[in-house]
């Protein structure tokens, strides 16, 4: 019961972080879409609390932020981001949990698999959402939105998340699982 309360509390913290972090880039929305500030707490939640919590936080965060702050815009952005971020939290947490030795290699593998999976889900969500309005979503738009424009955010995530997880391991807050 204590572990569940801890994970729920941390999940609430990650939702709060996801609401606050985009304010760092709010003056220039194009920078926010490049740095991907809402993605970071979702990855942390999946890695620290587990895939179930990461998926829930990922789904809730963009919708909740859109409802209370009107950013991202609910349609089509927040609606497309919800399954994308759900996938990030779910896949990062699930893949990470499959490793017996959870260290830097496991983190990078989990992050990369989750990033690719989430971007595919985002592309599918965009096709469905824009298809309802009979608006085309081209391969070029997918590649630009999912990868090319996101390169700065991807780099930040691949540097920041393992560094913070290693620091949390070193100080004993979140321990990498050790072989028994």
Name the residue with tokens 């979140």: 174
**Which letter does DSSP use for residue 177 in this model?**
P
Mean pLDDT of 16-41: 88
Residue 83, token pair as written in the block = 């399954």
Instruction: For 132, list phi and psi in degrees, rounded to 5.
Output: -60, -40
User: Could you tell me the pLDDT band of residue 2, with boundaries at 50, 70 and 90?
Assistant: very high
- Report the predicted TM-score, pTM, of the whole model to 2 decimal places: 0.94
Contact between 54 and 9 under an 8 Å Cβ cutoff? The reply is no
* pLDDT at residue 180 is higher than 70: no
By CB atoms closer than 10 A (0-12, 13-18, 19+), residue 25 is middle
Give tens-digit pLDDT for 103-158.
Answer: 999 999 999 999 999 999 999 998 989 888 777 778 888 888 888 889 999 999 99
Contact between 155 and 169 under an 8 Å Cβ cutoff? The reply is no
**DSSP code per residue over 76-141:** IIIHHHHHHHHHHHHHHHHHHHH-SS-SHHHHHHHHHHHHHHHHHHHHHHHHHHHHHTT----HHH
**pLDDT above 90 covers what percent of the chain?**
74
CATH class of domain segment(s) 2-170: mainly alpha
Contact between 88 and 114 under an 8 Å Cβ cutoff? The reply is yes
């Amino acid at each position: 019961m204590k572990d569940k309360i801890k994970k729920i509390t941390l999940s609430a913290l990650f939702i709060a972080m996801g609401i606050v972090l985009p304010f760092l880039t709010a003056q220039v929305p194009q920078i926010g879409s490049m740095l991907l500030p809402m993605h970071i707490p979702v990855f942390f939640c999946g890695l620290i609390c587990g895939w179930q919590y990461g998926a829930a936080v990922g789904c809730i965060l963009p919708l909740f932020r859109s409802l209370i702050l009107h950013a991202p815009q609910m349609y089509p952005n927040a609606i497309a981001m919800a399954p994308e971020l759900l996938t990030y939290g779910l896949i990062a947490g699930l893949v990470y949990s499959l490793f017996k030795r959870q260290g830097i290699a496991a983190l990078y593998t989990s992050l990369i698999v989750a990033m690719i999976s989430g971007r595919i889900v985002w592309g599918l969500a965009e096709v469905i959402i824009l298809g309802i309005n009979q608006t085309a979503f081209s391969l070029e738009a997918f590649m630009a939105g999912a990868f090319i424009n996101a390169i700065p955010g991807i780099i930040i995530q691949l540097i920041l998340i393992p560094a913070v997880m290693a620091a949390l391991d070193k100080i004993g807050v979140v321990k990498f699982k050790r072989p028994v």
